[in-house]
Amino acid sequence: MNASNSRSLLLALPFALGAFSCASTSAPSDAKSWRSRLIEPLTQPTIFESPVIDSQLRPIVMLHTIPDDNAALPDADVRIYALQARFALSSKLALIATKDGYIQLEPSGGGDEDGFADIAGGLKYAFYEDPDAGLIVTGGAVYETTTGDEEVLQGNGDGVIRPFITAGYDGGELNVLGAVGYNHPLDDQEESTSFDYHLHVSYELTADFAPLIELNGVTWTDSGNAIGVNFEGGDLINLGASDADGSLLSGAIGARYRIADNLALGAAYEVPLSSREDILNDRITLDLVWSF
């Protein structure tokens, strides 16, 4: 599937799914817990956080390609292997570890690099819940360290503080999630400042299978001064570009399949929807969510 066809399909899917879901008369099921009713978001997992408070382990694999029209950062295949963890301290408060893992960077011209990603973690708190309406709203904050390896575009700056708000709507078979976050670097010369925003819509075709679409956006509000380029790194990488101002929008199609009550597989394919691509040519995200 070429990029043009992918983007046309992604743009058409929200309308098709909306028409399909409007035909449903299903209502929220109060007998089910939030963790069962709201599907975990799939793409850009380090910054698209679920509003659900639960305990889980989540291994993730991302297969990412960098565009070949960028002289400052040549086209490359990137593989990311990560393990997220969340632990519910109460019914409303959870400790979250959102970023870690190992990165393999393989430029087309050779010179492969590999190393560890920065580590990020924090807390989230569900400050509003209405099971009858199927609504939950959660706020939180994480701190991203600079423990990663520079060879794989990590470890720069003095860290990033990231407050966020995430919300979910359970309409029976229909699930809608939305989130917004602010990325504040402690050294704004080495890293850029940005807002990010996300939307997830999924529909349970069966009790165990739900196709989904997701939209992810980032708007850079303040450039860094670490590298003289006009593009940025997105969710996993902060280059500190000197001309980062602007926005990038991407979209994904995928699905989740529930293997057991507490175990679900996910897969999604993501491409840029905006004319600006930065370092995202396309990405496949695979994960396994084990709730306990």
Pairing of strands 102-107, 135-144: unpaired
255 is in which domain, residue-wise? 3-291
CA distance 175 to 272: 23
**Average pLDDT of the residues in 138-157:** 96
pLDDT at residue 248 greater than cutoff 50: yes
**Span 16-45, average pLDDT:** 62
| Between residues 149 and 109, the one the model is more confident about | 149
Total domains, the chain: 1
User: What span, in angstroms and rounded, lies between the C-alpha atoms of 40 and 198?
Assistant: 13
Share of the chain above pLDDT 70, in %: 88
Which two structure tokens, joined as six digits, stand for 135?
């609504």
Q: How far is 47 from 197, CA to CA, in rounded Å?
A: 9
Q: What is the pLDDT of residue 108?
A: 84
Kindly tell me the number of DSSP H helices and DSSP E strands found in the chain.
Answer: 2, 14
Mean pLDDT in residue range 2-17: 45
The CATH code of the domain that includes 157 is 2.40.160.40
- What does the pLDDT look like over 69-125, one tens digit per residue? 765 677 899 999 999 999 999 999 999 999 999 999 999 888 899 999 999 999 999
pTM above 0.75, yes or no: yes
Give pLDDT, residue 116: 97
pLDDT score recorded for residue 71: 59
Inter-residue contact 250 to 271 (CB < 8 Å): yes
Residue 174 to residue 115: CA distance in whole angstroms: 39
pLDDT score of 91: 93
The upper half-sphere exposure of residue 241, i.e. CA atoms within 13 Å in the direction of its Cβ, equals 19
Q: Which two tokens stand for residue 76?
A: 């490359």
Q: What pLDDT is attached to residue 175? A: 95
